[in-house]
Structure formats: structure tokens, C-alpha cells
Amino acid sequence: MNLMLLINLFLFAGLIYVIIGMTRKGFSLGQRVFTALMLGIAYGILLQLLYQSNPDVIPATLEWSNVVGTAYISLLRMIVMPLILVSILAAVIKLTDLANLGKISISVIGLLLFTTMIAAIVGIVISLIFGLSADGLTQGARELAREEVLLDRQAGLSAMSFPDLIGSFLPQNIFSDLAGLRETSVIAVVIFAIILGIAGLQLTKDDAEKGARFRGFIDISQALVLKLVRLVIAFTPYGVLALMFNVAASSDFGDILDLLNFIVASYVAILVMFIIHGLLLSLFKVNPIDYFKKVMPVLTFAFTSRSSMATIPLNVETQVNGLGNSPVVANFSASFGSTIGQNGCAGIYPAMLAVMIAPSMGVDPTSIGFIVMLVAIVTVSSLGVAGVGGGATFAALMVLPAMGFPVVLVALLISIEPLIDMARTALNVSGAMTAGTITSRLLASHENQHIEAGVNK
């Protein structure tokens, strides 16, 4: 280990000590996360400037600092499946009317797909306004290597029909799904938890004593998992520091400048979609400014972690405690939203790529037929896109071949993928929270109508 590497790691440890000091002084989690984000970016850029003549030092530094970021993401992934299983199960066994279960599921999934459809339209419009094109993009060694991987992955996806995809949502081996071994494991665990919860309700109906003990077991399990979640969340600032340091220190600024038009267009499309979320919420008497203030810590974490799935614990907690959504709706929207209808990864991104590559394939991207077909394919393909880093690539590999387009363009954007993926993930999570908030308001309004009808009688 050379001297420069030791100095870099010493400075990184110093940044960690700064966060520890903020914790001791009582700074809030949101303040510490934001500080860690800024420190990570600043330190990553500093190393880029200092080691322009000796760039090999940066990967060696990241190899050690990534231990913190990777460990944090691993801990989050560790708690995701137990949290989904226990939370959905606890939510179902507390329902007095199973009809509400169907209403919640239909509303959440419907809103997720609806906002993804809008996101696809936004992606198309912004791409046309910015005049995005695949012409002129060059392939380097990294892009060629990525293309080979993508072609292999596409071959596997092409063998799966849409009915096969729907069938993969069902749990087969619950232990493998709890381990997250399939792209659709999250949905499978949600479905298993719902079925188990319904069985628990039937058990309570048939044997009140056993049902009470089952409920008590679930209550204790949920309390224990939530304690575990809070322990892991306490490490968020340190994970954010390491993750942002990795992004800033490993980004190729030359590639970023070459693809600046696509980056700007992507962020504009994402910003427009955030505004649409706010407008949709305002239709249901939710103040958009208050909403974004309350969810900002969650969006910040999603931005840095690049994982909708890892954000589920914070997502649920904020929906319940910050937005006042029911725990049932919060758990359903956060869980479904991590793998269905992701506005950024499964909506905007594949739509933009299709518009970029269409002219080179002899297709007019402004034609109504092309736009309608693309929006439909993007919306349907958004089912089952995994909420982890690389989910956007998965979505693109489904959409582009369905449109008859090659997947080479995905490989050409590898150098800027992390930079855009951060904002896309934040949008995904906002979409899930928007669906949960609107569903809660719809259910509350429906219940009030029932009460008023009963009073009038």
C-alpha cells in the first residue's frame, strides 16, 4: 500500500469522523445525509483533479472505500425481503374487509402503470425537442465489452413471452424468492405474503385462539424487523458518503461532456415528471410543496443508492409517518413500486432510446403510429423491472427488440449510466409514493362517502 493511497484513505476516514461528530451533536438524519452527499461529491472531484497524472491511485482508493458503500447496500438488501414479507402479512391480517385488498392492489398498480405511460410520453417529447440522435456515438473498449454482455442477456429475455413474464410473478420456491434470485422475486414475495395473510384470517375465523397467537407472532416479528430497519438506516450517511465518492471519483468527465445533450435532456424529462407527480397529487388535495419536503430524505437516499428496492424501508416509514398514508397502502405501493411501473427506469429511459435510434432504422419518431406503439410497449414492459442498479438496462432490453431496434445504443451510454440512473431512481421512488398517497386519499374519500350515506339513511 503506497503513501498516496494511505493519505486518500486517511482523508476518507476523516470525512466519516465528520459525520460521526454531526451525530453526536444531534444533527438530524436528513442533514447528515445531505452533508455526506456533498462531501462525497467534493472529495471524488478533488481526487480526479489531484491524480490526473497518476489515475491508477483512484481505483485502488475506491477498492477500499467501496467496502463501506457495498456493505451498506448489502445490509439494505438483507432487510428488504423480511420487511416486505412481515409488513404485507401484518397489513393483510388487520383487514376487516378483504374487498379493500383488491381495491388497494388495483389502485396502486393502475396508478404506477398510468404514470409510467405519462413518463414514456414525456421521454418522447423531450427527446424530440432536444433532437437526440444515436448518430455520432462512438464505441470504445468498455462499450464493446458491454455490448457483448447485453446481447447475451437479450437472448435470454427474447425467450420469455409476456404470459411467461406474468407467470413469473407467482411464487414458486419462496425461499429462493426471499433470497431475491429472480427478477420478479419482490412481487412473488408480496403475493406469498397476501396468500399467507388470507390464510391467517381464515385461521382466526375458524379458531380464535390460534388466530390470536398467530397475530401476536406477526406483531412481534414486525416490531423486531422494524428495529432492525432502524439500525441499518442509522448507517445511511456513511453509505451515502461512500457511494457518492465512488460516482464522483470514477466518472469520466470527457465522456460526460460528449453526451451532455443526452444528460441534460434526461434530467429535464425527469424534472418534468416530478412536476407531473406534484400536479397529480394536487388534484387530490395534497400540497405538492409539503409532499416534496417530507419525501426529500427518501429521494436523496434513492438518488445516492440507485436502488428502489433498497429504499423500501424509508419509503414505507415516510409514507406512514410523514404523509399519513395507511400502513397497508404504504407497504403495497413501496413493494409494487420497486418492480412495477418505474417512471424513470422503465418509462423515460427506454422511450428516449427508441426515439434516438428510430431515424437510423428508417422510422419517423414523430409519427402517431410509432408513438402509440412505443408508449404501449413501454407501459406493458414496465411490469417486473427489478428495482436495483441496472433496472433501466433490463427495461431497454425488453422495449428496443419489441420495437424491432438493436440494443447497441444501451452499451454506448455506459459511461454516463450512473449519473443518470441516480435521478431515474429518485423518480421511480417518487412514483411509488405518489401512487400510495393518491390511493390512500381515494380510499379515505370512499369511506367518507359510505359514512355519509349511512347518516343520510
- pLDDT tens digits, one per residue of 215-232: 899 889 888 887 887 888
Check residue 177 and give its pLDDT: 83
For 38, the grid coordinates are 456533498
Low-confidence ranges of the chain (pLDDT < 70): 1, 96-99, 135-166, 183, 252-258, 384-391, 407-412, 414-415, 445-457
Overall pTM surpassing 0.85 (yes/no): no
Contact 349, 395 (CB under 8 A): yes
**Residues 375, 351: Cα–Cα separation, whole Å:** 7
Q: Could you give the count of Cα atoms lying within 13 Å of 233 in the half-sphere of its Cβ? A: 22
Query: Do the domain assignments include residue 391?
Result: yes
Range of the domain at 187: 3-447
pLDDT tens for 142-201 read 444 444 444 555 455 455 555 666 677 788 888 888 887 776 777 788 888 888 988 988
Q: Residue 119 sits in a domain of what CATH number? A: 1.10.3860.10
Contact 347, 274 (CB under 8 A): no
Check residue 335 and give its pLDDT: 83
Query: Do the domain assignments include residue 360?
Result: yes
Number of compact structural domains in the chain: 1
Check residue 456 and give its pLDDT: 46
Taking residue 75's Cβ as centre, other Cβ atoms within 10 Å add up to: 17
Q: Could you give the count of Cα atoms lying within 13 Å of 94 in the half-sphere of its Cβ? A: 14
Contact 177, 171 (CB under 8 A): yes
**DSSP code per residue over 126-191:** HHHHHT--STT----HHHHHHHHHHHHHHHHHHT--HHHHHHTTS-S-HHHHHTT-STTHHHHHHH
Check residue 142 and give its pLDDT: 47
Q: Could you give the count of Cα atoms lying within 13 Å of 305 in the half-sphere of its Cβ? A: 34
Check residue 157 and give its pLDDT: 47
Query: Do the domain assignments include residue 76?
Result: yes
Query: Do the domain assignments include residue 12?
Result: yes
For 13, the grid coordinates are 476516514
Query: Do the domain assignments include residue 456?
Result: no
> Which residue is listed with cell 467496502?
67
Check residue 160 and give its pLDDT: 55
Query: Do the domain assignments include residue 312?
Result: yes
Query: Do the domain assignments include residue 454?
Result: no
Query: Do the domain assignments include residue 452?
Result: no
Check residue 29 and give its pLDDT: 77
**Residues 457, 438: Cα–Cα separation, whole Å:** 29
**Residues 323, 60: Cα–Cα separation, whole Å:** 43
For 329, the grid coordinates are 397502502
Percent of the chain exceeding pLDDT 90 equals 26
